[in-house]
Amino acid sequence: MAITFTKLGGHMAIAAEGLDLSTPPSAEAAAQLRQALWENQILCIRGQAIAPGAYLATISLFGEPQVRPEIPHVEGFPAVTTLSSEDRDLKGDGKRLVAGANWHSDDTFMARPSALTALYGLIVPEVGGDTEYANMYAAYEALPQARRQYLDTLKVVHAMKPAREGLGRTRSIAPEILAQCPPSTHPLVRTHPQTGRKALYVSRNRMDHIVGLEREEGHRLIDELVEHAIQPQFTYRHRWRQGDIVIWDNRCLMHKANGDYPEGARRFMQRIIVAGEVPV
Ligand code: OGA
Ligand code: MN
């Protein structure tokens, strides 16, 4: 059966329909899906009802799934973690935990941050719970040339432990996990290995400081870049349908969860991250 592709946002995100991923797609279909992702940064495969093994096989078409031992996972599938409206901050105040409610890119504190993240919406709220995205290629390209040239020279130290106060809740991190994840230094502007395009690489609550700048000055610059990048012309908001598998590219996007669905409404996602490279 042929895949039908439909653009979702004005300048990024595309939906694929007509696939049943309970059996593996043809090599040709897999190549079309990869191409759609590189060209549109976000790929939504609609209408799936598949088991964790088939989900993992699907995401493996895009790269190598990675295990993050500190996140709860589906029994028997350590690479398929879960994200639920029932998650509570057990190490903190016990309140509902909405992971990723600040604009961010996933796992930038790692030496090789995940290239892609996939979320599979098994239960989605009737209202709220959208995921928002900002296109960091477009945000970079819209800056004046002199500004781009300056930003191209900067390096940023990213740390797992949130380095700044007042940026909202995150999952509490056990000291032994923190000890395994030393800070990493990445360029503020990175070049995408598949497309060759440059993108701002910003994840506000993981950025400890900009190398060579005063902390405050670096934080102001990061805030300014985030404010610039989340303007409507660079963003897309995904309204979830049950059965959506959304795969996005962390190397050229920021994203953000919304915890705006009512208390008691359920949201349940299975999440897979795909190994990335050292950002350059
Ligand atoms: C994530 C994330 C957003 C959401 O899984 O990395 O940020 O809407 N999720 O759940
Ligand atoms: Mn995230």
For the chain, domains (ranges, CATH) are 4-274 (3.60.130.10)
Measured distance CA(203)–CA(252) in Å, rounded: 11
Q: Which residues are catalytic?
A: 104, 106, 255, 271
Residue 1 C-alpha to ligand 2 middle, in angstroms?
Answer: 33
Pocket test for ligand 1, best of 116, 171, 246, 256 (most atoms within 8 A of CB): 256
Please tell me the pTM assigned to this model. Answer: 0.94
What's residue 201's pLDDT? 98
Measured distance CA(174)–CA(91) in Å, rounded: 9
What's residue 87's pLDDT? 79
Indicate which residue's Cα is closest to atom 10 of ligand 1.
Answer: 257
Residue 213 C-alpha to ligand 1 middle, in angstroms?
Answer: 30
- Determine whether the shortest distance from the Cβ of 255 to ligand 1 is under 6 A: yes
Task: Provide the 3-class DSSP secondary structure of residue 155.
Answer: strand
Indicate which residue's Cα is closest to atom 1 of ligand 1.
Answer: 100
The string over 88-102, giving b where at least 16 C-beta atoms fall within 10 Å of a residue's C-beta and e elsewhere, is ebeeeeeeebbbbbb
What's residue 175's pLDDT? 77
Residues, beta carbon < 5 Å, ion ligand 2: 100, 106
Terminal-residue alpha carbon distance, the chain = 39
Beta strand ranges found along the chain (DSSP E): 4-7, 14-17, 42-45, 65-66, 73-74, 77-84, 116-123, 131-135, 155-158, 184-187, 189-191, 198-200, 207-210, 235-238, 245-249, 253-257, 268-274
What's residue 121's pLDDT? 98
- Determine whether the shortest distance from the Cβ of 100 to ligand 1 is under 6 A: yes
What's residue 169's pLDDT? 52
Cβ pair 205, 162 in contact under 8 A: yes
Q: What one-character DSSP code corresponds to residue 205?
A: G
Residue type present at position 91: K
Pocket test for ligand 1, best of 110, 117, 274 (most atoms within 8 A of CB): 117
Question: Which tokens hold the place of 272?
Answer: 């897979």
Q: Please tell me the number of Cα atoms within 13 Å of 159 on its side-chain side.
A: 10
Indicate which residue's Cα is closest to atom 2 of ligand 1.
Answer: 100
- The ligand placed nearest to the CA atom of residue 85 is 1
Residue 218 C-alpha to ligand 2 middle, in angstroms?
Answer: 22
What's residue 35's pLDDT? 97
Residue 257 C-alpha to ligand 2 middle, in angstroms?
Answer: 7
What's residue 161's pLDDT? 78
pLDDT in tens, the chain (280 residues): 689 999 999 889 999 999 999 999 999 999 999 999 999 999 999 999 999 999 999 999 999 999 988 889 999 999 999 999 987 766 666 677 788 889 999 999 999 999 999 999 999 999 999 999 999 999 999 999 999 999 999 999 999 876 676 665 556 667 777 787 889 999 999 999 999 999 999 998 899 999 999 999 999 999 999 999 999 999 999 999 999 999 999 999 999 999 999 888 999 999 999 999 999 9
CA geometry: angle 256, 21, 269, nearest 5 deg = 30
DSSP-derived secondary structure for 259-273: --SPTT---EEEEEE
Q: What one-character DSSP code corresponds to residue 96?
A: B
- Determine whether the shortest distance from the Cβ of 81 to ligand 1 is under 6 A: no
Indicate which residue's Cα is closest to atom 8 of ligand 1.
Answer: 257
Q: Which residues contact 180 (CB under 8 A, 6 or more apart)?
A: none
- Determine whether the shortest distance from the Cβ of 83 to ligand 1 is under 6 A: yes
